[in-house]
A and B are shown apart, each in its own frame.
Chain A
């Protein structure tokens, strides 16, 4: 029951007028970020992170996480009204959302999307409230070997679960680790991989990489398509909202299933995008009207939106309790914790109770505020979308430059951002995943530290990673995840030969 008291204390923190104001600002900014091309959740949070350096950490994380919720909500607006997914995780929403809008039911589609997002997020937050303290308590007993095993599992899940070819995932991830290693070695204090360039003394900052890879890269991809942009109309009124709400409970089975898929995919760092696709695919197979999917079925909006939001939210569970972020945006938030002087990981629950529970409480309130903001302001956000890309693009590029500069007040970083941008464009075009690259830059130092400390303890024997039941189990799970696609292929071949 101590958790409940903590949670109520958290609500008291989150309900302070200043924090509520930040919450609304965050949600609004987040929706705008989610609506505009080239400004995703991860990139948007990264650009705005420097603005929070002077705030108290709890207020800062409330605002930044609300930007994240806003971006999750915002992606749906463009998918449904314009058939343009503002975020990768809302691609699956276009399949049925856009046809619904075409049939003159944009209000129903938007209401269903927003409400499902809210339901998914709420489910995930409740899960975080119940599970996170337990995981954190458990993780307090972890030594370096167990810590490394958790990182190992996280990165192996990327290889096994992402839809990109496994060796491309490995290549991208290892580039991230290599970039993280550049600069001062935290254990020996020795310089490495700098090749005499003084700007590289402190290594590569992942915020620069995020702004470049996701922000600039996305703009370049959009430029390829040209500047053409079709507008659409959006109207949403109370009658439509209420009518849709009456209809939604009939799809409770789809919602529940999507929540579970979302939470699972969010905790393992697969992220919101595969979760939304998977949920859509399963709903299509199991729904009674599955054959109508793709022609404007409301269930086809509910499934991906619920799962995406549940995944996006539950990605914060491993970040808070283990210090391993479940998505690039969670990684940026984790970077924020480090900058504000907080050590992410299980000790947060012991030492920074107010921070952790304030954040969890703000997840409940932020998502509720988000639902209200998006339901009432859809026409406004749709109007922003009609500002032509020829005006938006240079403004976003300038914003990215400002964000990159203000991380360390260095113009070298701004140039680095452009290099990362071009790299991101090429990698994306060649089907290399960007999320593992970013996560590896964030976690590289910590993973290496855990690895080297484990080896120090064992005098260099790799046996330390299989020395007790706990660490062996985590490592074994990691290996299964790593070879998951090979295992699947082997299994289907076996079945083929049996048949």
Chain B
């Protein structure tokens, strides 16, 4: 990355392209493997369950091979993203993963409150008053709109049970 003028560095676009082509190719192999298990030949009922996915998997592997070849050949020295940018992205992905992962245990409402508050306080840098207003307000509005008005149940945890909702 010597030709870049900026001081920031990051993973090369080429590396990510190659990684992506390999990842998709590997997915294609999994599909082929799964299709072989389901049977790709003709049975009494006509083409068996793996018949169509087998060719789909083969097409994925083929297209990925060509994409891989292209990715290795062209190198424009571009960055995929700067490390700082990736850190920004990860600062959303990781808490969202925790948020999503905790939902089965503590329910959607409490998880959402914590998640919104965390996001606004640490990434947005808002005053606690604003943070609490939005973090509590949004789940309450959600409850009214979804559960009361449209009768769509959302996951609840021990706290909601204790409240008797």
Contact present for A397 and B67 (CB under 8 Å): no
Contact present for A223 and B88 (CB under 8 Å): yes
Which residues of B34-89 are within 8 A (CB) of A? 34-35, 37-39, 42-43, 45-53, 56-57, 59-60, 63-64, 66-67, 70, 80-81, 85-86, 88-89
With both beta carbons as reference points, the residue of chain A lying nearest to B34 in the complex is identified as A193
Cβ of A177: which chain B residues have Cβ within 8 Å of it? 52-53, 56
Name the one of A390, A406, A426 contacting B152, with C-beta atoms under 8 angstroms.
Answer: A406
Cβ of B51: which chain A residues have Cβ within 8 Å of it? 452
Contact indicator per residue, chain B 142-154, by CB within 8 Å of chain A (1) or not (0): 1000100011111
Given A54-B150, A192-B49, also A398-B20 (CB < 8 A): no
Cβ of B60: which chain A residues have Cβ within 8 Å of it? 171, 174-175, 178
* Chain B: interface residue total (CB-CB under 8 A): 71
Contact indicator per residue, chain B 97-120, by CB within 8 Å of chain A (1) or not (0): 101110110001000100110011
Segment at the interface with B among A99-107, A183-191, A488-496: A183-191
With both beta carbons as reference points, the residue of chain B lying nearest to A181 in the complex is identified as B53
Contact present for A418 and B134 (CB under 8 Å): no
Question: Nearest-CB distance from B25 to chain A (Å)?
Answer: 9
Question: Nearest-CB distance from A304 to chain B (Å)?
Answer: 27
Name the one of A224, A406, A415 contacting B101, with C-beta atoms under 8 angstroms.
Answer: A415
Give the distance in Å from the alpha carbon of A405 to the alpha carbon of B50 in the complex. 30
Contact present for A167 and B70 (CB under 8 Å): yes
Cβ of B120: which chain A residues have Cβ within 8 Å of it? 390-391, 394
Given A174-B60, A390-B124, A427-B20, also A54-B151 (CB < 8 A): yes
Contact present for A174 and B100 (CB under 8 Å): no
Given A390-B124, A394-B119, also A190-B38 (CB < 8 A): yes
Give the distance in Å from the alpha carbon of A460 to the alpha carbon of B51 in the complex. 11
Name the one of B53, B59, B104 contacting A192, with C-beta atoms under 8 angstroms.
Answer: B53
Name the one of B43, B52, B91 contacting A181, with C-beta atoms under 8 angstroms.
Answer: B52
Given A167-B63, A429-B16, A456-B46, also A193-B119 (CB < 8 A): no
Contact present for A51 and B53 (CB under 8 Å): no
Cβ of B142: which chain A residues have Cβ within 8 Å of it? 398, 402
With both beta carbons as reference points, the residue of chain A lying nearest to B122 in the complex is identified as A390
Cβ of A174: which chain B residues have Cβ within 8 Å of it? 28, 56-57, 59-60, 63
Interface: B1 (CB within 8 A): no
Give the distance in Å from the alpha carbon of A30 to the alpha carbon of B89 in the complex. 27
Contact present for A193 and B38 (CB under 8 Å): yes
Range of interface residues on A (Cβ < 8 Å): 35 or more
Given A175-B24, A224-B89, also A394-B152 (CB < 8 A): no
Name the one of A50, A178, A398, A452 contacting B57, with C-beta atoms under 8 angstroms.
Answer: A178
Most buried by B among A170, A401, A429, A448: A401
Interface: A467 (CB within 8 A): no
Cβ of B46: which chain A residues have Cβ within 8 Å of it? 187, 452, 455-456
Contact present for B99 and A401 (CB under 8 Å): yes
Name the one of A219, A418, A456 contacting B47, with C-beta atoms under 8 angstroms.
Answer: A456
Give the distance in Å from the alpha carbon of A188 to the alpha carbon of B43 in the complex. 10
Contact indicator per residue, chain A 392-432, by CB within 8 Å of chain B (1) or not (0): 01110110011001100101001101100110011101101
Interface: B140 (CB within 8 A): no
Given A224-B89, A406-B146, A456-B47, also A195-B101 (CB < 8 A): no
Give the distance in Å from the alpha carbon of A426 to the alpha carbon of B125 in the complex. 28
Name the one of A394, A411, A426 contacting B16, with C-beta atoms under 8 angstroms.
Answer: A426
Give the distance in Å from the alpha carbon of A221 to the alpha carbon of B67 in the complex. 23
Most buried by B among A171, A225, A421, A427: A171
Give the distance in Å from the alpha carbon of A455 to the alpha carbon of B42 in the complex. 11
Interface: A216 (CB within 8 A): yes
Contact present for A401 and B103 (CB under 8 Å): yes
Contact present for B123 and A414 (CB under 8 Å): no
Contact present for B93 and A220 (CB under 8 Å): yes
Question: Nearest-CB distance from A22 to chain B (Å)?
Answer: 13
Which residues of A142-197 are within 8 A (CB) of B? 165, 167-168, 170-171, 174-175, 177-178, 181, 185, 187-188, 190-193, 195
With both beta carbons as reference points, the residue of chain A lying nearest to B25 in the complex is identified as A171
Contact present for B20 and A406 (CB under 8 Å): no
| 5 tightest Cβ-Cβ pairs between the two chains A and B | A390-B124, A394-B119, A192-B38, A193-B34, A185-B49
Q: List 19 A-B contacts (CB under 8 A).
A: A54-B150, A171-B21, A174-B57, A178-B56, A181-B52, A192-B38, A193-B31, A193-B34, A220-B93, A223-B88, A223-B91, A227-B124, A388-B124, A409-B153, A421-B96, A426-B16, A429-B80, A452-B52, A456-B46
New A-B contacts (13) at CB < 8 Å, excluding given A168-B63, A193-B31: A53-B152, A167-B63, A171-B67, A174-B57, A178-B57, A187-B45, A190-B38, A195-B34, A395-B138, A397-B119, A414-B100, A430-B20, A452-B52
